[in-house]
Amino acid sequence: MNRKHVLDLDDFTADEINLVFENADAMKEILSRPIKRVPTLRGLTVVNMFYEASTRTRVSFELAAKNLSADVVNITSSGSSVVKGESLVDTIITLQALGADAIVIRHPEAGAPYLVARHLRGSVVNAGDGCHAHPTQALLDSYTIRERFGFVSGLKVVIVGDILHSRVARSNVWCLSKLGAEVVLVGPPTLLPPTGNGQSSRLGLPPVQQSYDLDSVLPGADVIMALRLQKERQQSGLLPSMREYVQLYQINRTRLSKANPRVLLMHPGPINEGIELAPDVAYGPQSVVADQVTNGVAIRMSLLYLLLGERGGGA
Amino acid sequence: MRLLIRGGRIIDPANSADDTGDLLVVDDRIAAISFEEGRTGSWNADTILDAGGCIVCPGFVDLHCHLREPGQEEKEDIASGTAAAARGGFTTVCAMANTKPVADSLSTVNYILQAAAERGSVRVRPIAAITRGLGGSELTEMGELARAGVVGFSDDGKPVANSLVMRHALEYSRLVARPIIQHSEDPDLAQGGVMNEGAVSSRLGLKGMPAAAEVAMVARDLALAELTGGWLHVAHVSAAESVELIRRAKQKGIHVTAEVTPHHLVLTEEWVAGERGRWERGFPYDTNTKVNPPLRTAADTRALIEGLRDGTIDAIATDHAPHASSDKECEYGYAAFGISGFETALGLLMELVRQGELDLGLMVDRLTIGPARAFGVSAGSLSVGATADVTIFDLDREWVVEAREMASKGKNTPLLGLDLRGKVVATLVAGHPVYVADGYRAREISPLEAI
C-alpha cells in the first residue's frame, strides 16, 4: 500500500480497501491460532494516543499492534501532560524524539490527526477525530458485511441515527460508496448534515440518499447500522425527547422484519440499549455486533502491517 | 523638501484621474500634478522617485484592523502593526477596540493615539467600543470618545446581540455622527462554529456557521437603522444575501455603509479542505484559514465583487487580525480566528484585477476615497493641497509570501509560501517614505542633479 498515513478514507481507492480486506483475511487466520502472535513489527514502537475515552477501539489497536510484536505505549489524556496544557504539537515532537514509529490517535477535534501527520516522520492512524472520520471502524464494518455476504457492491445499507455528529457515518459513507453499496442516511432533520442552498460541492461528501422516515427505507435493506445517540443532543435542543426518538428511530423486532430476511444489524458500540436498539435485537440473531469487534483487530493488524511491515524486524 | 514622483500611472479616483504623469510633493503636501509630458522638467526637486511602470495612487485607507496594543503585544503592537500597514500601502488604519483593556474609555483611546504618534509608521484612527468592556449591555461614553477623535464605534469580534442596546447605539450615532460598526452574527446560530456551514464543513466534520447567522443580523440592524435614522456600518460582509439586503437598504435611503475583506473576496471555504484555487493543494485543516466571518462559497465571492462594483459595498478593509504562532499551531477547533491581512491585501486583490473581475481603478477607489468617504475621514485623494499620503505599487511584481519577510508579528495567513503578483514598492505618509521595497530604494531613488 503506497501510503504513509490513514487519516480518512476519502483518498482510498476500492483496490486499496480490498487489499486491506485481503490482508485482514490473513490476520484472521493468525487470530485463530493458539498463539496469536507473529514477529512482523518486532522492534517498532506504536503509540496509542487517546484524548477521548475509549475501551474497544483502544484495546483493539493495542492487541493488533501486540499481535504483530510491536512495542505499544498507551497515552490517555488524563494520564499525560495534556492536562498540564502541553500542546499537541509539543507532545508529538516529544514522541518523535522518543522514537515513535507510528501514532494511533483518537481526538475530540476534527483534523487533529492531520496536525500530527505534519509533525511526525512516522505513520499516523486516525482512530476517530471529532465528527470527522473513523476510518478503521468503517473498514471493519465493510469487512464484516463482505464476510457475511461475500461482497459489498449493490447492497442497500441504511445508517440510522445522529449522522450529523458521527465520524462513523462519514467514514462509512466514503467506504461503502467506494465499494459500490447503496447508502441511505436516516435521522431527524436536526441530526442530518445540512442540505440547504449551495450544499453540494465537489469537496463535499459523496452524494447519498437522506431520509427522515425510517420505516419507508427499510424494505430491501441488507444492512442496518444504528449509531449511538449521545444524551446531550436532547439537552442542546436537537431532539424534543428521547421518548419520541425511540418511537421514530429505534431498531426493534418489528422494524427488522421490514428489511430483507438476511438483514445484518450493526452498531459501532457502545450501545445505548433501549434507545437506538431494542434490547432483544441488540445481540439477537441478526446482530453482528460481536463480529465487528473481532474483525476490528484483524483490520487494524492489516493496516499496521501495510503501513509498517516493510520496516519491521520480523518480516 | 521637494519630492518628484515621475512617470507613474497616476490613479486618483477622487479626481477621476488615471493617466501617466508626475506628482510633486512639497514637504507634507501634494504641491502639483501634471499629466503633460515634459512639463515637469521645470519643477525643482531634491529627490526624484522614478515610478515608471508603477501605479501612483493615494495611500490606502483601512477601516478595519486589529493592532492588539494595549494588552496583546505578543500578537502585534502599534509599531509592528503600522509597519505592516506601510508595507501593504496603507497610510491610514482604523484600529478596532477589542484591546486589553478594551478601548471603551478616554484613557485607553488616548493611550492608543499617543502610542501611534510615538511609534506608528502610519496614521492610526482608533475605533472605540459600543459597549463597556464589549459586554453588550451598557453604552460607552460615545460623545466624549467622539470628541477625543475616534472614527467609529464597534464591539468587533462580538456582535451587539441585544436589539435594544443596538437601537440605543444607533440613536447615539446621530449625536456623534460616527458609524456603529457591527460584527454581524447571530450568536446562537453561529455558536461553536469554526467555518462556513455547507458541504465542506459536512465533509470535514467541523461545526459550521451558516451564512444565515450573518444575514439575520444584517436584516435586524438595517431595520433598526431605518427605525432610528442612525448610521450602520456593516463590517466584513461575507454572504451574498447580506449584499442584497444592504443594496436594497441603500436604495431606500437607509444610512448604511459596508466593507469587505480581500480574503472574503478571493478565498473560499474550499481552502479549509486544502483546495487553494490556482495554487497547489495545501493540507486540510490549515488553521490560518480560520477566520470570522468564515470564508464562504464561490457564489458569495461573486456577490461580494458585484456589491463592490455597484457601490453597495463602499470599501475594502483588511480585518488584519494578527496572532501569535501558538494561537494557530494547534487543532482547528482550538485555533484563534483571524488572518493577518495588511501585507497581502494588494496582491490578493490583484488576482481579481487580472481575472477581469475587478477594474483596477475601482480597486483603487475602494481602497482610498471609498473608505475615506464612508467614514468621513479626510484622506484618500491626491488633490493639490492635500496631505501627501501616497502609495506606489508595481502591478506585475511577483513575490512569495514568506513569514520572515512580514513586518507584522502575526504570520497567520493562508497565503504563506504562495506566489502573488502585485506589490507595494513605496508608501509615503505626509510626504515621508515609511516603506520602500528592497531594491526599489537603491535603484530608483536618487538625488536630482540641478536642472
Choose the closest CB to B285 out of A115, A203, A204.
Answer: A115
Task: Report residues of chain B scoring pLDDT below 70.
Answer: 38-42, 441-451
CA distance B217 to chain A (A): 19
Nearest CA in chain B to A89: B330
**Shared fold status for A14-134+293-311 and A135-289:** yes
pLDDT reported for residue A81: 53
Torsion of CA B406, B411, B414, B420, to 10 degrees: 0
Task: Give the pLDDT confidence score for residue A83 in this predicted structure.
Answer: 52
Sequence spans of domains, chain A: 14-134+293-311, 135-289
**Chains A–B, number of C-beta pairs less than 8 Å apart:** 83
List the single residue in B206, B210, B326 with the smallest CB-CB distance to A110. Answer: B206
Question: How many Å apart are CA B32 and CA B112, to the nearest integer?
Answer: 34
Q: DSSP readout, B338-366?
A: -B--GGGHHHHHHHHHHTTSS-HHHHHHH
Question: In a 3-state reduction of DSSP, which class is residue A278?
Answer: coil
Question: Quick check: B65 and B345 in contact, CB under 8 A?
Answer: no
The CATH classification number of B58-375 equals 3.20.20.140
* Predicted-complex ipTM score: 0.95
Partner-chain residue, chosen from A89, A109, A201, that has the shortest CB–CB distance to B333: A109
Cα atoms in the 13 Å half-sphere on the side-chain side of A96: 15
A205, B203: Cβ pair inside 8 Å? yes
Find chain A residues with C-beta within 8 A of B273's C-beta: 203
User: Between chains, do A130 and B205 touch, taking CB under 8 Å as contact?
Assistant: yes
Nearest to A111 among B200, B299, B332 (CB): B332
Q: CA-to-CA distance for B46 and B34, rounded, in angstroms?
A: 18
To the question of domain B2-56+388-411+420-447 being in CATH 2.30.40.10, the answer is yes
Q: How far apart are CA B26 and CA B44, in angstroms?
A: 10
Q: How far apart are CA B83 and CA B69, in angstroms?
A: 14
Contacts of A188 (CB under 8 A, 6+ apart): A212, A238, A239, A245, A248, A249
Q: What is the DSSP string of B101-148?
A: S-S-SHHHHHHHHHHHHHH-SSEEEE-B-SBGGG-SSSB--HHHHHHH
Q: Do B200 and A199 touch (CB under 8 A)?
A: no
Q: How far is A60 from chain B (nearest CA, A)?
A: 24
Chain B residue with minimum CA distance to A196: B198
The most distant pair of C-alpha atoms in chain B lies apart, rounded to whole Å, by 69
Whole-number pLDDT of residue B451:
38
Nearest CB neighbour to B331, from listed A109, A194, A201 = A109
Kindly list the residues from chain A whose CB atom is less than 8 angstroms away from the CB atom of residue B197: 194
CB contact under 8 Å between A201 and B331, yes or no, is no
| Cβ pair B329:A87 closer than 8 A | yes
Q: Which residues of B313-340 are buried (b: 16+ CB within 10 A; e: fewer)?
A: bbbbbbbbbbbbeebbbbbbbbbbbbbb
| pLDDT 10s digits, B100-140 | 999 999 999 999 999 999 999 999 999 999 999 999 999 99
CB contact under 8 A, A111 and B275: no
Contact B207 A131 (CB under 8 A): yes
Is the separation of the CB atoms in B301 and B269 below 8 Å? Answer: no
**Minimal C-alpha gap between B403 and chain A (Å):** 18
Task: In whole angstroms, give the CA distance from residue A202 to residue A10.
Answer: 12
> Which residue in B has a C-alpha nearest to residue A117's C-alpha?
B283
Q: What is the pLDDT of residue B40?
A: 60
Residue B215 to chain A, least CA–CA distance (Å)? 14
Residue A184, helix vs strand vs coil: strand
Q: Does domain A14-134+293-311 have CATH number 3.40.50.720?
A: no
- pLDDT digit string, tens, across residues B328-386: 999 999 999 999 999 999 999 999 999 999 999 999 999 999 999 999 999 999 999 99
- Alpha carbon of B406: minimum distance to chain A alpha carbons (Å): 23
How much is the pLDDT for A1?
A: 82
Within 8 A of A200 by CB-CB distance, chain B residues are: 199
Q: Which three cell numbers stand for residue B87?
A: 508595507
pLDDT of residue B443: 42
Write out chain B residues lying below 8 Å of A129, CB-based. Answer: 205
Q: Which of B199, B275, B285 sits opposite A199 (nearest CB)?
A: B199
Chain B residues with beta carbon closer than 8 angstroms to that of A87: 326, 329-330
Q: Give the residue from A174, A180, A169 showing the smallest Cα distance to A146.
A: A180
Name the residue of chain B whose CA is nearest to A192's CA: B202
d(CA A123, CA A296): 19
Closest CA in chain B for residue A200 = B199
For the entire predicted model, the pTM comes to: 0.95
* A138, A179 Cβ separation under 8 angstroms: no
Sign for the CA dihedral angle at B189, B194, B200, B206 comes to: negative
**Distance from B200 to chain A by nearest Cα, in Å?**
5
The residues of B carrying an active-site annotation are: 319
Q: B205-218: b or e for each residue (b if 16 or more CB lie within 10 Å)?
A: bbbbbbbbbbbbbb
Closest to B440 in 3D by CA, of B22, B92, B89: B89
Chain A residue closest to B285 (CA)? A111
Is B285 close to A114, i.e. CB distance below 8 A? yes
Q: Which of B205, B332, B333 sits opposite A167 (nearest CB)?
A: B205
Nearest CA in chain A to B204: A132
Record: fold of A135-289: Rossmann fold (3.40.50)
Chain B residues whose C-beta is within 8 A of a chain A C-beta are: 197-200, 202-208, 210, 270, 273, 275, 283-285, 297, 299, 326, 329-334
Closest CB from A115, A201, A203 relative to B331:
A115
Q: Does A198 sit within 8 Å of B299, measured CB to CB?
A: yes
Spans of chain A, pLDDT less than 70: 78-85, 196-200, 313-315
Q: Are B120 and B78 in contact (CB under 8 A)?
A: yes
Contact at CB, B285 and A110, closer than 8 angstroms = yes
Which chain B positions have a beta carbon within 8 Å of A198's beta carbon?
Answer: 198-199, 297, 299
The string of pLDDT tens digits covering residues A184-232 is 999 999 999 987 555 557 789 999 999 999 999 999 999 999 999 988 8
Measured CA to CA, the distance from residue A276 to residue A169 in angstroms comes to 15
Domain with CATH 2.30.40.10 in chain B: 2-56+388-411+420-447
The answer to whether the CB atoms of B285 and A167 lie below 8 A apart is no
Q: Do B208 and A194 touch (CB under 8 A)?
A: yes
Q: How many CB atoms lie within 10 A of CB B70?
A: 17
Tell me whether residues A201 and B270 touch, CB distance under 8 A: yes
C-alpha span between A293 and A57 (Å, rounded): 9
- Is the N-terminal amide bond of B70 cis, ω within 30° of 0? yes
Residues on A contacting B at a C-beta cutoff of 8 Å: 10, 87-89, 107, 109-112, 114-115, 118, 129-133, 167, 170, 193-194, 196, 198-201, 203-205
| Backbone angles phi and psi of A171, in degrees to 5 | -65, -35
Question: Chain A residues with CB inside 8 Å of B333's CB?
Answer: 109-111, 130
Q: Which part of chain B is CATH 3.20.20.140? A: 58-375
